[in-house]
Amino acid sequence: MSKKWSGEKARAWYQQHPWGCGFNYLPRTAVNWTEMWQSDTFDLTTIEQELGWAREYGYNQLRTNLPHIIWLNDRDGLIYRIDRFLRVADRCGMRVVLTLLDDCAFSGDEPFAGPQKPPVRGLHNSQAAGSPGRDRVVDPACWSDIERYISDIVGHFAADTRILLWDLYNEPGNRGIFCPDGEYRQYDAKLEIYALTLMSHAFGWARAQNPSQPLTVGAWHIEPGSAPFSHPVDRVALHLSDVVSYHAYVDTPTQLEILTALLAFNRPVLCTEWLARHVGSVLAEQLPLFKALRVGAFHWGLVQGKTQTWLPWPAIASRHGDDALWFHDVLTAQGQPYSRDEMERVRRLCLAG
């Protein structure tokens, strides 16, 4: 089994790549990653069109999630579709971050294969499904399947240069459930304990495949009254990761404070989720900051679509009413910029080298 990369190895790897400017991706025709990746709804035509739009602005990386439920039901098909996706991204000049596990099941449902529910009108990311699903995370009897899933996917693509890195677990322990009335409910608190343990195992399972790509899990807890990333999940994630990654939907002064702290690890730093205009996480200020500090950046969303992530989180929506300001995303469903000024800035920064 390989060990955690040394700081020297991680820095040498990072120097081989240009500054990374990218986005989190689902096609506009998918309400969640199950719909994106399953056979009947894998929409390669739309994917090719949308990544072509992104290429015109100079984006060179993207991050997307894989659904354990599809691997369980159609392993060979999923592997085939991942390869087809990577071919399209490669033709568009983009390296890909693949995320294997995810606790952001904001729908409140456990994942299921087959036709997905339609989006709930007016609700941000209303059908978000977890991987493998919160009920499986809190049931260690299910973890042998999760181990096989991680070992299989990482092992199959361990030498694939189209993959930038492995993000093993998106927001471990996220218990949130979004409700149309703006209420924010939460899954059982035991999720956090089990997710921490599962995350630690995931690093071991992935390292056993000796991947050529680095491994990471993003720190994500930012709570009022507490130092960012002081939660045990975040501390362990930062300790185990080959390269530092994090999520921060915060205003620019707070973003700079976070970056100052994380750069002190003396490892490559990537912000794998940001851009939330209502709370001051804005492209005009923060994308130049990321480039100046050579921090890889993946804002949330590319094209306005079925996830409805241009709408704000429910708690924010309840305060803003019918505010026309977009929360995430940068292009309309027709490929036009939400903000021409924003996208001209993306073009200048990405294409300047």
Which is it for strands 163-170 and 21-24: parallel, antiparallel or unpaired? unpaired
- pLDDT band at 114; cut points 50, 70, 90: very high
- Whether 181 shows a pLDDT value over 80: the answer reads no
What are 12-68's pLDDT values in tens digits? 999 999 999 999 999 999 999 999 999 999 999 999 999 999 999 999 999 999 999
Q: How large is the average pLDDT for residues 206-216?
A: 98
- Residue 237: pLDDT band (50, 70, 90) is very high
H helix or E strand, kind and range, residue 234: helix 232-240
In this structure, what token pair is assigned to residue 90?
Answer: 């490669």
The yes-or-no verdict on residue 130 having pLDDT over 90 is yes
Output the pLDDT for position 343.
97
Q: Are 148 and 156 in contact (CB under 8 A)?
A: no
| Contact between residue 52 and residue 43 where contact means Cβ atoms under 8 Å apart | no
Tell me, what amino acid is at 45? T
CA dist., res. 76 & res. 261, Å (int): 42
Taking each helix axis as running N to C, give the angle between helix 190-207 and helix 143-156, from 0 to 180 degrees, rounded to the nearest 10.
40
Q: Per-residue pLDDT averaged across 301-328, rounded?
A: 89
- Residues 6 or more apart whose Cβ sits within 8 Å of residue 165: 97, 213, 214, 215, 216, 242, 243, 270
Q: What are phi and psi of 339, to 5 degrees?
A: -130, 115
- Enter the DSSP assignment of 331: B
For residue 195, pLDDT over 80 is answered with yes
Question: Does the pLDDT at position 317 exceed 90?
Answer: no
What crossing angle do the helices spanning 232-240 and 190-207 adopt, rounded to 10°? Answer: 10
Measure the CA angle with vertex 103, ends 98 and 108; round to 5°: 130
d(CA 46, CA 36): 11
For residue 321, pLDDT over 90 is answered with no
Mean pLDDT of the chain: 96
The upper half-sphere exposure of residue 138, i.e. CA atoms within 13 Å in the direction of its Cβ, equals 15
Say if residue 320's pLDDT is above 70. no
Q: Is the pTM of this model over 0.95?
A: yes
More confident residue, 323 or 173: 173
pLDDT, tens only, 133-175: 999 999 999 999 999 999 999 999 999 999 999 999 999 999 9
Pairing of the two strands 184-186 and 176-178 = antiparallel
Q: Summarize the confidence of residues 119-126 as an average pLDDT.
A: 95
Handedness of CA 252, 253, 258, 263 (dihedral sign): positive
